[in-house]
Amino acid sequence: MKTYEGKTVDEALSNACLDLGVALDDLHYEIIEEKRGLFSKKAVIECYVNSMIEEYMSSFVRRILTDMGFTVETATFIQDNRFYCNIDTDNNSILIGKNGVILRTLNFITKHAVNTEFKEKIEISLDINGYKESRFQKVTAMGKRIGKQVQKTHVDVKLDPMPADERKVMHSVIAEMDHLRTESSGEGKNRYITIYYVD
């Protein structure tokens, strides 16, 4: 986040755009202060652009993992209003953890840090050397296979518990299939999906 001042909000915004080299449409801002006195006028804004989120997320992840003794490289990009950070280290399997539990924890910590820094709910996703993408592909394939089975047999299927991001993939896969619907049940790490047949 950066702070800019001006005699008016428009002037503060103009100063921000000029300094950051962006168009107004690319600026996310909040008016912090606006005074309109007889003898003085002042407007203060806090703002950021998407590249700041990418830089912050990348440096935060690198700092944590470097402090833990890992050699780390990161690459960030934005897709569908979500910020992605791909991580590659000298020991990816340790950082992924059993069934991705350490990766999910790292994702949670990083998301909290980003949201605190930018004072907004920002969707982020960390991946380690394509692990999560590979998992999503497996979940997609499993969803299509089980979905076809339910379509054929009309017998509902309760799946094993899975993380929130994988459940989201499963919901979207089944949503594209005829005569099927999904429902999540359970709490926390025991939350699971049931695939139902509907006429």
Q: What residue ranges define each of the domains in the chain, with the CATH number in brackets? A: 2-48 (no CATH), 51-132 (3.30.300.20), 133-197 (3.30.1370.50)
Q: Which of 30, 38, 40 is nearest to 8 (CA)?
A: 40
Tens digit of each residue's pLDDT (9 = 90 or more) over 69-118: 999 999 999 988 899 999 998 888 888 988 888 999 999 999 999 999 99
> 23 and 40 in contact (C-beta within 8 Å)?
no
Question: pTM here?
Answer: 0.76
Distance CA 190, CA 36 (A): 55
* pLDDT band at residue 58 using 50, 70 and 90 as cut-offs: very high
Tens digit of each residue's pLDDT (9 = 90 or more) over 169-181: 999 999 999 999 9
